[in-house]
Structures are given as structure tokens and as C-alpha cells.
């Protein structure tokens, strides 16, 4: 994606050939700053503090974290420990475990273990780069498959010169992935193809990824949008102001239950009540083939301070953190919820669009039949 005329991915290898560059997403939308990861601890901290976030980007950061661990100890004995350290940072997005397993399995291959130290480290970096390139290719394919749904929605409109009205929750754009995004990829492709779209952007309390990240990146790309409070979507749907909803996911079970940012379930309920399609963009590394029931997905519980306080920039341009409730008010901060498969109109994957069900997923990924 372009920012101020320069092409960026969200994670890259620095010119020194080993340290890793990221965008510090905790500073957006107020300032765009990049920083450098040089150790596996840096990578784990970047994930835990949400300098990087979004399921696919968390996975990519973990992959590079393992490269940094292997570089520090090329014997490979630290790899297992580094993997556990990275996995412990955030429990819900399955991409994190997937990326660690992908890297460790490949690095344990005798063809790699028989290499000299330097070559083994180089092999790890090659693998991490491959994982990132694959993420981009997957997201481009999701964009192409999802754009057809936007075209369908445009054809269904009585006045198809009017923009297709799309509601999204949280941030499943290029900032959440290596590039292109998942839920936003079809929107970018439709916009670039000249299809008029307008996006309703949920604020996504408590961390406001909708406001601070989705609105920012849509603005960079010139896609028309309006920010709304988390509770506005239902009214907009009742008024016919939403043609379709599309969100990302942190983990989708083999049965099609979708885990995503807290509040996604309520949007799906409102969409169902109003007969509005509710789509979920799903890269295959986000499918948890070991689970059928979404109720078994671990839900991250974060610092209650994220609920009781908000951060922002005041009129004088100063960043401030302010309290919203009286001191001592108990608060709970569940970061994700589960949308049951029955509320999901379809899953948009890199291989095509399918029903949110075991049969639907296996139709696109038949090679996983023995895993479910």
C-alpha cells in the first residue's frame, strides 16, 4: 500500500539483511512511524503490545521472530523456546500458532538441519519471506473473489449508480496483513475497478481499530467512508443504508464458526434480522481444522484499562489518555467473540466463496478431509 507516495508492506527485512522493519500501529492515525526488531523478544513485545496486530500480520511477525532467534543461536536449540514465547503473546488468532508450526516443521527437515549455521539461518529468512509473499497472494485472491460479491450487490440495487454500502468491523485491511488486507481487499479492488463503494467504519471499542486504522487506510487509498459508533450499524441496516457486511476473522473453525473482534456477533445478528448478507474474508491459515465448535476457541481477555480509558489527540495536538468511568469501576475486556456459522452468509477464501460449514470448507480444501 502507498503511504505518502511510498510503497509499504507492514513488515519487511531491513537493508542490513537481518533486522525486521514494522509500522508501529499503536501510533496511528496520529503519526506514521516505523521501528526495527532485532531480537525474538522485540518480536514478541511488538505482538503483545499490538504494535503489530491482525491475525495474518501476527503470524508473519512470529515467523521473522523465529529467524531472529535462530540468528542469535544458530544451533537451533532455542527454536522451540522462541516458538512458545511467541505463541504465548496472544491466544486467539490461530495464524500465530500456524506460522510457528510452519517455520519449525520446515526448519526441522533434515535437508535444513544438515546445513551449516549460516545457511540454516538464511533458510529461515527465506521461509519467512515466502510466508509473507504467500499472505499477499492469498489476500489478492480473496480480493478478486470478494469483489464479485460487491458486483452482485451493485447489480441488485435499484439505482446502481449509487455506491454499494458496505459495513465493516475492526481492521482487516492491509495493516492487519502483510499487504492488501482480507475484508478490505475486495473493497480496494472494487474501488480500483471503478465500482462506487462507500464503507461504514465501526469504531471498534475498546482499542478503536476501526477509527484509528481502517478509516486511516481507506483515507490513504481514497475510498469513501464514514466512521460510526459501534452501536449505529443496526439502525443503518434497518434504514436500508447497508448492502452488505464484510469482516475479517482471527480463527474460523472447520464447522464455519467465526471468531473475530468483539462486536462482530452483534453485527451479524443485526444483518440476519435485516436480511443483509454477512460475509467473512478467510485466508486458509486462519482455519482451525482441529475445532468444529467456536465455543472451544480461547478468547483473549485484555487489560481492563483499555475499556475504562481512551487515548487520543486533543485540540492542541497533544496525545492524552483520559478516564471514562469513575475510578475503581470494575471492567471486563473480552477482545473477541464468536459468530455462529448460521449467521454467516458465506466465507470468502483465496480458493473461492463457500458456505460457512464443514461441507463448504471441504469443498474448497478437499485435502483437509482427513483432518476434520
Is 54 assigned to a binding site? yes
Is 328 a known ligand-binding residue?
Answer: no
Residue 53 annotated as part of some ligand binding site: yes
Catalytic residue status for 314: no
Query: Closest CB to ligand MRU among 176 and 223?
Result: 176
120/139 with CB nearer ligand MRU: 139
- Asked if 203 contacts 226 with a C-beta cutoff of 8 angstroms, the reply is no
Q: Is 260 annotated as a binding residue?
A: yes
- Enumerate binding residues for ligand MRU (CB under 6 A): 53-56, 93, 170, 172, 176-177, 182, 209, 247-250, 260-261, 335
Coil/strand/helix, residue 337: strand
Cα separation, 21 vs 11, whole angstroms:
6
Kindly state the smallest distance separating residue 173's Cβ from ligand MRU, in Å: 8
Is the Cβ of residue 35 or residue 156 nearer to ligand MRU in the bound state? 35
Query: Residues near 181 by Cβ (< 8 Å), separated by ≥ 6?
Result: 139, 143, 172, 173, 174, 175, 188, 217, 248
Q: How far is CA 306 from CA 50, 58, 310, 331, 340, in A?
A: 12, 20, 7, 9, 26
In the complex, what is the shortest distance from the CB of residue 305 to ligand MRU, in angstroms, rounded to a whole number? 15
Residue whose CB is nearest to ligand MRU in the complex, by number: 248
Residue 209 among known ligand-binding residues: yes
Smallest gap from residue 6 Cβ to ligand MRU (A): 22
Print burial letters for 289-299: b (CB count within 10 Å at least 16), e (below 16): bebbebeebeb
The residue from 250, 257, 288, 337 that is catalytic is: 250
The 3-state DSSP class for residue 201 equals: strand
Which is nearest to 44 in space by CA: 29, 22, 27, 28?
22
Residue with cell 478437499: 366
With respect to ligand MRU, which residue has the nearer C-beta, 107 or 347? Answer: 347
Q: Taking the complex as a whole, how short is the minimal distance between the CB of residue 209 and ligand MRU, in angstroms?
A: 5
Residues labelled catalytic: 250
Amino acid at each position: 500500500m502507498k503511504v505518502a507516495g511510498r510503497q509499504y508492506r507492514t513488515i519487511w527485512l531491513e537493508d542490513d539483511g537481518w533486522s525486521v522493519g514494522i509500522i508501529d500501529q499503536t501510533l496511528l492515525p496520529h503519526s506514521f512511524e516505523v521501528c526495527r526488531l532485532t531480537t525474538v523478544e522485540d518480536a514478541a513485545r511488538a505482538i503483545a503490545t499490538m504494535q503489530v496486530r491482525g491475525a495474518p500480520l501476527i503470524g508473519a511477525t512470529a515467523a521473522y521472530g523465529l529467524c531472529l532467534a535462530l540468528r542469535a543461536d544458530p544451533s537451533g536449540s532455542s527454536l522451540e523456546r522462541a516458538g512458545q514465547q511467541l505463541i504465548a503473546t496472544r491466544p486467539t488468532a490461530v495464524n500465530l500458532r500456524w506460522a510457528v508450526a510452519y517455520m519449525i516443521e520446515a526448519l526441522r527437515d533434515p535437508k535444513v538441519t544438515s546445513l551449516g549455521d549460516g545457511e540454516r539461518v538464511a533458510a529461515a529468512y527465506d521461509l519467512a519471506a515466502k510466508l509473507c509473499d504467500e499472505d499477499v497472494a492469498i489476500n489478492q485472491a480473496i480480493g478478486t473473489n470478494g469483489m464479485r460479491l460487491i458486483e452482485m450487490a451493485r447489480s441488485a440495487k435499484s439505482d446502481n449508480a449509487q455506491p454499494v454500502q458496505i459495513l465493516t468491523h475492526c481492521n482487516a485491511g492491509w495493516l492487519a496483513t502483510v499487504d492488501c488486507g482480507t475484508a478490505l481487499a475486495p473493497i480496494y479492488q472494487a474501488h480500483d475497478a471503478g465500482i462506487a463503494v462507500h464503507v461504514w467504519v465501526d469504531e471498534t471499542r475498546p482499542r478503536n481499530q476501526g477509527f484509528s486504522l481502517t478509516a486511516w487506510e481507506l483515507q490513504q487509498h481514497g475510498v469513501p467512508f464514514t466512521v460510526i459508533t459501534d452501536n449505529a450499524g443496526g439502525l443503518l441496516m434497518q434504514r436500508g443504508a447497508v448492502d452488505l457486511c464484510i469482516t475479517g476473522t482471527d480463527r474460523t473453525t472447520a464447522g464455519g464458526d467465526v471468531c473475530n473482534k468483539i462486536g462482530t456477533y452483534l453485527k451479524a445478528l443485526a444483518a440476519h434480522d435485516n436480511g443483509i448478507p454477512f460475509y467473512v474474508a478467510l485466508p486458509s491459515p486462519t482455519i482451525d481444522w482441529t475445532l468444529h465448535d467456536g465455543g472451544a476457541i480461547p478468547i483473549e481477555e485484555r487489560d481492563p484499562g483499555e475499556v475504562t480509558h481512551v487515548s487520543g489527540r486533543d485540540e492542541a495536538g497533544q496525545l492524552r489518555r483520559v478516564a471514562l468511568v469513575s475510578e475503581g469501576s470494575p471492567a471486563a475486556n473480552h477482545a473477541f467473540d464468536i459468530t455462529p456459522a448460521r449467521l454467516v452468509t458465506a466465507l470468502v477464501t483465496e480458493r473461492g466463496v463457500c458456505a460457512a460449514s464443514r461441507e463448504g470448507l471441504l469443498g474448497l480444501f478437499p485435502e483437509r478431509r482427513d483432518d476434520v
